[in-house]
Structure 1
Amino acid sequence: MTAETTRESAPLERGALVYDPAARKVGAYHDRSGPYVLLRPVGGGREWQADPAALRPATPRERLSAGVAAANERTRAAGAVAPDPEDMSRPPLPVRGCATCGELAGLREAARAEYDRSAETDANVLLRQHQRRKHRA
């Protein structure tokens, strides 16, 4: 068995996602180094050496989990914060449990369904006004 095959004897291609049980994580095949293969974390990062005989193809669930973890790390690294409720470029979110908010959000959704952008904007304005009057902390 060469350094470029898994225990199923399928050759690894650069970028192939495999599970390394020793590291307990998914990595993308990068290269080989002596008797080991070099893997990189999904989304980038510091590579590590792995025993090619222990590797197996990553399951769809493991691939998804690794991709989500990479996306979350990118978000944290970018210093993302929750959206500002006063951001006028975003539609206001209804307050849970408030009948008026629910009614206005329903009007907005009905306007969207009818492609009536004017009525949609009106519902957003009314929802913001209501939230300022009734839900301002």
Structure 2
Amino acid sequence: MEPGTLLYDTATEQVGEYRDRSGPYAMLRPVGGGREWQAHPSTLRPATDRERLSAGVRAANDRTWAVPPAPEDLGRPPRPVPGCGECAYLDGLRETARAAYDHSATTDANVLLRQHQRAEHS
């Protein structure tokens, strides 16, 4: 196994990133970082695409919630930063959703725009 390979541990029902061997055990780390654990090689298998995606989303959510938005930021929709292509794209998605009266998609676009702004424009 190559370091960095994503494996599913059937004993713990978790996806982990293979790090190295420790005696007869494989050392795995949660996707996105965290405390490593030992797994017996017989309980490991390659993670499916769905399991990889789920683990990646979980890690992204953990990072997002590590710094909650300020309450005053949630009172009104975020404004796109002038000259930023990603902001313009997400604002376009939001406007398309508003025009279609799709309130769920409008909220999703607002969330994505806030996450982008925290990551790129803070």
Q: Same fold (TM over 0.5)?
A: yes
> Could you list the runs of 5+ residues in structure 2 that have no partner in the other structure?
81-90, 100-122
Match of 2:38 in 1: 49
Residue from 89, 92, 102 that aligns with 2:79: 89
> Could you list the runs of 5+ residues in structure 1 that have no partner in the other structure?
1-11, 95-101, 107-137
Match of 2:109 in 1: none
- CA-CA distance at 1:87 after TM superposition: 5.6
What count of residue pairs does the alignment treat as equivalent? 85
Residue from 2, 6, 22 that aligns with 1:33: 22
Match of 1:7 in 2: none
Distance in 2 (CA, whole Å) between partners of 1:54 and 1:88 is 46
Seen in structure 2, the aligned counterparts of structure 1 residues 58 and 79 have a Cα distance that, compared at 3 Å, is same
Distance in 2 (CA, whole Å) between partners of 1:88 and 1:23 is 40
- Between structure 1 and structure 2, the one with the greater Rg is 1
- CA-CA distance at 1:53 after TM superposition: 1.7
Greater fraction helix: 2
Q: How does 1:2-17 map to 2 (within 5 A)?
A: 12-17=1-6
Distance in 1 (CA, whole Å) between partners of 2:78 and 2:22 is 54
Residue from 52, 57, 75 that aligns with 1:63: 52
- CA-CA distance at 1:77 after TM superposition: 1.0
